[in-house]
Amino acid sequence: MKQYQGYLIDLDGTMYQGNQKIDGAAEFIHYLNEHEIPHLFVTNNSTKEPEQVADKLHTMGVEANSDEVVTSALATAEFIADKDPGATVYMLGGSGLRTALTEHGLKLKDDEFVDYVVIGLDEAVTYDKLATATLAVRNGAKFISTNKDVSIPKERGFMPGNGAITSVVSVSTGVDPIFIGKPEPIIMNKALDILSLDKKNVAMIGDLYDTDILSGINIDIDTIHVQTGVTTKEELTEKDIPPTYTFADLNEVIAELEGAD
């Protein structure tokens, strides 16, 4: 396997599975830190702040700092602030999205007369929230969604994801949103900018083909699939563009890297 100068790394299914550790995850990050190889954790989760993500990684024995975490909430806030500083926003979502938007100087409003509608995963979503978002889009607000994941893994099973919530407003208004998170290039290009490395020397690591692996393919970087989450090795044979590599877990990736030293 090629030696890379930097890595973009998925979380759920790659670093951990819900609240369970994944064998090899902590060891892989330790290997990167020991060899001073830069890396970022890239997540579609918009509900958590980077500090909260880093704290969860710590509970799994994974070395992580908040400045190594790129969330779809951060990428969304930066996307809007770059285009329209100080814009007004009606949002659905959690504290991670709220904090990211306000810290980027955007003004949150609780009505349908805004510049942007931003939808992130909102586990307390109501008809009234969706109605306000719908009216705002109909009034001409630009429509942004943190990610298109239609389902997310929970202890009870796969639950409705942000893409499912977003679809209510999209279907009602006939307006398709701009999606920010994986597999879209926006979040990935933000992460590449932070790494400041030539993308031919960066690889994306993840378990889910339709988000993690496609996100790498969509920005033309190499991809490393790990068989510790959703997409199986057998399912990869049905894909038009396979990942650059696939491994049982991150222990195998470490072995490959050590063998190439």
Q: Which helix (H) or strand (E) holds 33?
A: helix 25-34
10 is catalytic: yes
115 is catalytic: no
Nearest CA among 151, 138, 123, 142 for reference residue 47: 123
Is 182 annotated among the ligand-binding residues?
A: yes
Strands 151-154 and 157-160: antiparallel
Is 240 annotated among the ligand-binding residues?
A: no
Is 207 annotated among the ligand-binding residues?
A: yes
Cα separation, 49 vs 67, in Å, equals 11
**Sign of the torsion angle spanned by Cα atoms 56, 204, 45, 66:** positive
Nearest CA among 148, 191, 151 for reference residue 9: 191
Task: Compute how many other C-beta atoms are within 10 angstroms of the C-beta atom of residue 246.
Answer: 18
Sequence letter at residue 257: L
Q: Which helix (H) or strand (E) holds 168?
A: helix 162-173
Sequence letter at residue 44: N
Q: Are 89 and 109 spatial neighbours (Cβ–Cβ below 8 Å)?
A: yes
Is 12 annotated among the ligand-binding residues?
A: yes
Q: Which of 12, 122, 212, 222 is catalytic?
A: 12
Question: Residues within the annotated binding site for substrate?
Answer: 182
Question: Residues within the annotated binding site for Mg(2+)?
Answer: 10, 12, 207
List, by residue number, the catalytic residues. Answer: 10, 12
Question: Residues within the annotated binding site?
Answer: 10, 12, 182, 207
